[in-house]
Structure 1
C-alpha cells in the first residue's frame, strides 16, 4: 500500500461512520413530550425497564419505552412530584405498562385514561384508586408504598353492557372501566338508525354550493347599498 494510504482509509472510515450516525439520528422518530414530563430516565431495575428489555427492538428513551416506530409502550413517571398528569399524557395511550407511584396525584383518574385500551399494568400511589375501580381489572394488589392494577378487562364482554348500545351499534372498549358504542358497518346517524355510507362528497358539495350562494347574495346586497348611498 502506498505511503499515506492507511491514514486516508482511516479518515474515510471515520467519515462514513459519522454519516451513518447522522442518517440514523435523522430517521429516529421524535420523542413524545410525555417522555420528558419530568427529568431523568427510566431506572434499569424498574418494571418499565424490565418490560422494555424483553424485546430487543424496543428502546428506552428518557422516561419512555418506545417501539421502532416511536409509539409509547411503557411510561415511567414515578417520583416526579406530579399532582396531575398534564395535557401531554394522552400521547401514551398506546402504553402497555405505566408506573406513576410516589406522586401526589389528586382527583379521579377515570377520564384521564380514556383511550388507553392497551394498558395492562398500572402502578399507582397506594392511596390512589385504580381508574374504573376494581371491576375494571383482573387483579388489584395493594402494597405499603404502591398499588398495582393488572389485566384491564373488556367490559363489552360482560352481560348487560351489550344492551346499552342500539340495535345497529357495537360496544368497544375505551379504557379502564370505559366503553363506547360505534355504529356497525353500513350504519350511521342518531342511534345508528340510518343505513348506507354517509357521503362526505355529497355533504361538502351541498355545503359549498350553499356557502357560494349566500356569499353572492350578500355581495349583491352590499353593492346595491353602495350604489344607492
Structure 2
C-alpha cells in the first residue's frame, strides 16, 4: 500500500521521448490534413493511373498527387492549389459538397459515374478549367458553344479549351449594363463588374462607396437595438 505523500512511478527518458515523437507526428499529420480540401478524399483511394488528371499531374514535375487531387503551388503561403481532380469511378450520383474547393482546377475527370445532371452553376468560378471528362450521358458545362473542342470515346465525353464568353459572338454574346465590364465566371458563365468609380445597382452610382457612412449607420442601428433589448430585459427583471 502506497504511503501518503509517496510519489508514483515516473516516466522514464525513453518513454518521454517516445511520447514526444508521437505528439509531433500527430501534429504534422493534422497540419497536412488541414491543408488539403475534403474534396480530395470524397472518393476513396488515389487518383487512377490512367486518368486525364494523373497524366496531367505526371507531365508537370512541380505538381503532386494526393488522394484524388493533383496539387500545385498556391498563390500565397496558404495550402496548395487543386489543379486537377479525379472523381472517376466513384459511384457518384451528385457532386460532393466540397466540389467548389476545386474551382482553380485545370483538368477534371468525372467519368464512370452514374451522374444524371450537373447544373451549370456547379462550375461557377471555374475560370481556369481547360479539360473536363464526363459520362457520355452528360453535356459539356455551359453547352457545346462554351468549348473549343469536344470529343467522345467509348462511354465518355471530353470538353477541352474553355472559351471566354465575354469575347464571343452569337449565342454566347453577353451584354453588360452601361458602366460595367463583362468578366468570365466559369464555362458559359459571366459576371458584370462595375468599372471605374461606378458602383451600386446596375453600376448606376458614381463615386467611391461611402464606407464610413455605411458602417456608421450600421453601428448606430446595432447599438440602438442592443440598448433597447437591454432595457426591455431589465424592466422584465424588475417586474418579476
TM range (shorter): 0.7 to 0.9
Partner of 1:41: 46
Go from structure 1 to structure 2 and tell me whether the alpha carbon gap of 1:221 and 1:78 turns closer, same or farther (over 3 Å shift): closer
Aligned residue pairs, count:
212
Per the alignment, residue 91 of structure 2 pairs with 81
Q: Distance in 1 between matches of 2:217 and 2:36?
A: 42
Q: Distance in 2 between matches of 1:40 and 1:131?
A: 26
> How far, CA to CA, are the matches of 1:64 and 1:203 in structure 2?
42
Displacement of 1:216 in angstroms is 3.9
User: Would you say 1:180 and 2:191 are equivalent positions?
Assistant: yes
Q: How many angstroms apart in 2 are the aligned matches of 1:33 and 1:224?
A: 50
Q: CA deviation at 1:217?
A: 5.3
Task: Using the TM superposition, give the Cα deviation of residue 201 of structure 1 relative to its aligned residue in structure 2, in angstroms.
Answer: 2.7
Q: Deviations over 1:125-179 (max 9, x none)?
A: 1111111110000011112220000000001002476662111111111111111
Q: Give 2:105's match in structure 1, choosing from 62, 72, 95.
A: 95
Conservation of the 8 A alpha-carbon contact between 1:40 and 1:62: yes
Instruction: State the Cα deviation string for residues 37-83 of structure 1 (Å, max 9, x = none).
Output: 11110123321111112222211000000013411000001100000
Note the C-alpha offset of 1:190. 0.9
In the aligned structure 1, how far is the partner of 2:81 from the partner of 2:88?
Answer: 20
Q: Which residue of 2 aligns with 1:32?
A: 37
Correspondences of 1:66-77 after superposition (within 5 Å): 66-69=71-74, 70-77=80-87
1:177–1:162 CA distance, 2 compared to 1 (3 A): closer
Aligned residue in 1 for 2:69: 64
Matched residue, 2:9:
none
| Greater mean deviation of Cα atoms: 96-105 or 29-38 | 29-38
Structure 1 unmatched runs, 5+: 1-17
Distance 1:175 1:138 in 2: 14
State the secondary structure of the residue aligned to 2:140: coil
**Worse-matched range after superposition: 177-186 or 147-156:** 177-186
Q: What's the CA shift for 1:96?
A: 0.2
| Partner residue in 1 for 2:3 | none
TM-score (ref. length: structure 1): 0.81
The residue that corresponds to 1:199 in the other structure is 210
Measured after TM superposition, the shift of residue 33 of structure 1 is 0.6
Q: Which residue of 2 aligns with 1:121?
A: 131
The Cα shift of 1:225 comes to 8.5
TM-score normalised by the chain length of structure 2 = 0.77
